[in-house]
Amino acid sequence: MKTWPRVQLRHVQATDLPLMIRAITDPAWRGEFSVSRITSPETLRKRFADHGFATEESERLMVCNEAGEVVGDVVHFVAHRYSDAREIGWSIYDPALRGQGYGTAAARALVDYLFQAFPIHRLSCSMAPDNRASVRVAHNAGFQYEGRLRGLVFVRGQYLDGEVYGLTRPDWQAGMAATAHATAD
């Protein structure tokens, strides 16, 4: 059975803002699948001052490694006005830390947090079809491929399709039971 790095999720602190700003504005850290629009540092500081990136509609949490160092962030937000479904996303900031399992660990920690803390039935995530790293994260976090949405996001001057992955509470519960059973053996 594959093991992932141990991570902890926590709310954003004022001391995290410089790192978040770099992750959003530094082209080397943004990655090829990030949306083209860059949020200004002033907007990020204002959002932090207004609500600390935690509202009923959305919440951003920092991903910390075992030493307590921030390696990225995760986010969840209302997916549909007519449903309790949430969409999630993840980002590992430093490209040197990508591919080491932090994305999967972060996504799995967020999934567990959401199903344990909120009365929701469904989670989803979407990514560009060519974003193989995020596809692996989605699969490793228990999500199943559900389909493709044409022209979903605007990246580098063009609209890209999005592959949609979903995970329901019963799927998550079955995965938790299987993990507990495998651990007991």
Residue 117 lies inside a defined structural domain of this protein: yes
Amino acid at 127: M
pLDDT band at 185, cuts 50/70/90? low
Domain count, the chain: 1
pLDDT of residue 36: 67
Residue 73 CB neighbour total at 10 angstroms: 24
Q: In what order do the strands lie in the sheet with 58-64?
A: 8-11, 58-64, 70-78, 86-92, 122-127, 158-168, 144-155
128-146 tens-digit pLDDT: 888 999 999 999 999 999 9
**Average pLDDT of span 4-17:** 95
pLDDT at residue 85, as a whole number: 95
Q: 173-182, long-range: CB within 8 Å, 24+ apart, which pairs?
A: 173/115, 175/142, 182/1
Does residue 1 sit within a domain? no
- In this predicted model, which residue has the larger pLDDT, 26 or 173? 173
For the cut 90, the answer to whether the pLDDT of residue 158 exceeds it is no
Assigned domain for 3 exists: no
Confidence of residue 177 (pLDDT cuts 50, 70, 90): confident
In a domain, 2, yes or no: no
* Structural domain containing residue 98: 8-184
Q: How many CA atoms lie within 13 A of 93 on its CB side?
A: 20
CATH code for position 92: 3.40.630.30
Q: What is the pLDDT of residues 38-50, one digit of tens each?
A: 889 999 999 999 9
Q: Say whether pLDDT at 184 is over 70.
A: no
Give the mean pLDDT of 7-36. Answer: 89
Mean pLDDT of the chain: 92
| Segment 138-164 mean pLDDT | 92
Is 147 inside any structural domain?
A: yes
Beta strand segments in 14-172, E: 58-64, 70-78, 86-92, 122-127, 144-155, 158-168
The angle formed by the CA atoms of residues 164, 166 and 168, to the nearest 5 degrees, is: 165
| Residue 11: Cβ within 10 Å count | 12
pLDDT band at 160 (very low <50, low <70, confident <90, very high): confident
pLDDT exceeding 90 applies to what percent of the chain? Answer: 74
- With a cut of 70, say whether residue 94 has pLDDT above it: yes
In a domain, 17, yes or no: yes
pLDDT of 25 reads 86
